[in-house]
Amino acid sequence: MIRDQSIHNLRKILSIGLMMAFFFQCQRSEFNSACDPDSSAYLQTLVVLVGASEYTDFCGAHVRNPRIKIPRFILVTNVGLSTATSSINVFQIDPNTGAISQVTGSPFQLTNRPRYSVTNATGTIVYVANIGNTSVSILNLNPENGTLSLNHPDLVLSSTPYSLALDPNGKYLFASSEGQKEIHRMAIDSSGNLSSLTPVAVTANPISGAVGRMVFDSKGRHLYAGLTSAPGDMAGVQAFHLDAANGNLTSVNFYQTNVNNLSIAISANDQFVYGANYFSQDVFPFLRDKNSGALTIQTSISAGVAPGYAIVDPLNRFVYVANSGTGQGTISAYSIQLTNGALTPVSGSPFVSGFSPIGLSIDPKGKFLYSSNTEGGSVSGFTIGDDGSLWPMAGFPVTAGTNPFSIEIVSY
């Protein structure tokens, strides 16, 4: 009885919090002439709209449902050795245990050698960067059974894409260039199809290089790109402002880190950005200004051999870095200092993974971490401890395809 009463009280508090959150954003309009928080229908309408989808427009405000999604699928891109051995694995996740199993029909063959995937907010359309024909594929993902099918013909780009970043508002897709100092811009229509926007956005690599991984802040106002370099050349992170009206990227600033800043990550609360340098084997934390998007660099910290991917857990507690050097495999774990984003190694770090981990993904509740292991051709799975430590789960590693690269959790 006491527990039931506590739950009832908690629901009342959450309801009041929702009302207060949107009271000051509430404006009357032709479409909602009864936008009155004191009316009996106000809270009922808000609850129904938010419960129906992740995003909704209510009383002049763009409302996001804060509920934590449930992980359902893992997508692994397998670059392969040729078009005959390239594919995408789709695994179903048990959200309680973290165990995974391939869905019927998996792996799904993609002959253009897929390297990187990103899925839209509804979990129905998957965009895939291909190195075989320098294109982006547009696939349907069935939310019920995880099957993949072609949605639209591939969009061919002028240079080979390395990674993808999807505007959180679902209007634009960006592809980093593996060999050029540029970012490809694409518009997304109502069916999920892509069209190229010109010109490309030019990056500010100090000497040679191209573009690695990219991330958006949660509101889609700023894009951060890891800029790569040749051995011995300095690289860094570039911040851009996104014009939501036309998809233009305007440079905010370039921040020098070290040699070959291949990967980048951002905290879920948008406070911190992290750049991982592949050749100099270190990680640079940044404190982020949420209004301007500008970054303030903090003290760097060492990583393992060839750090190729960085990720922040969804609860803003830890940073994980995949050390992807050949013939070995580890994941470095760091705790985040909440005042400035500085990093401290977690006890026991680095943790052993499969050979050459190059992709990482964490479930929305921060319980499980998965790595795609290029040299090992597998997926490793870990339970995340309260202190950030990684504990291998039973049943892993799980076999993937040939040369797996990116790994992505799709949640609903």
pLDDT at 229: 93
Residue range 276-304, pLDDT digits in tens = 999 999 999 999 999 999 999 999 999 99
Bigger pLDDT: 37 vs 241? 241
Residue type at position 218: S
Does the structure show a pLDDT above 50 at 27? no
Of the ranges 323-332, 344-353, 389-398, which one carries the lowest mean pLDDT score?
323-332
For residue range 58-94, list pLDDT tens digits in order: 666 655 566 789 999 999 999 999 999 999 999 999 9
Residue 387 confidence class, pLDDT cut points 50, 70, 90: very high
pLDDT at 26 over 80: no
Residue type, 251: S
**pLDDT tier, 208 (very low <50, low <70, confident <90, very high otherwise):** confident
Q: Work out the pLDDT band at 326, boundaries 50, 70, 90.
A: confident
pLDDT at 54: 55
pLDDT of residue 378: 98
- Whether 142 and 123 have beta carbons less than 8 Å apart is answered as no
Tokens representing residue 35 in the block: 């936008």
Confidence of residue 172 (pLDDT cuts 50, 70, 90): very high
Q: Residue 2: pLDDT above 80?
A: no
CA 380-168-203 angle, 5° bins: 85
At residue 28, the pLDDT reads 39
Tell me the whole-structure pTM to 2 decimals: 0.85
Check pLDDT > 70 for residue 128. Answer: yes
pLDDT computed for residue 274 by the predictor: 98
pLDDT above 90 as % of the chain: 81
Look-up of token digits 């019920």: 144
Report the pLDDT value the prediction gives residue 67, as an integer from 0 to 100.
74
What pLDDT is attached to residue 207? 87
Q: What is the pLDDT of residue 238?
A: 98
Number of CB atoms found within 10 A of residue 54's CB: 14
Tokens standing for residue 250: 């305007």
Averaged pLDDT, 382-388: 98
What's the confidence (pLDDT) of residue 68? 87
pLDDT, mean of residues 149-155: 95
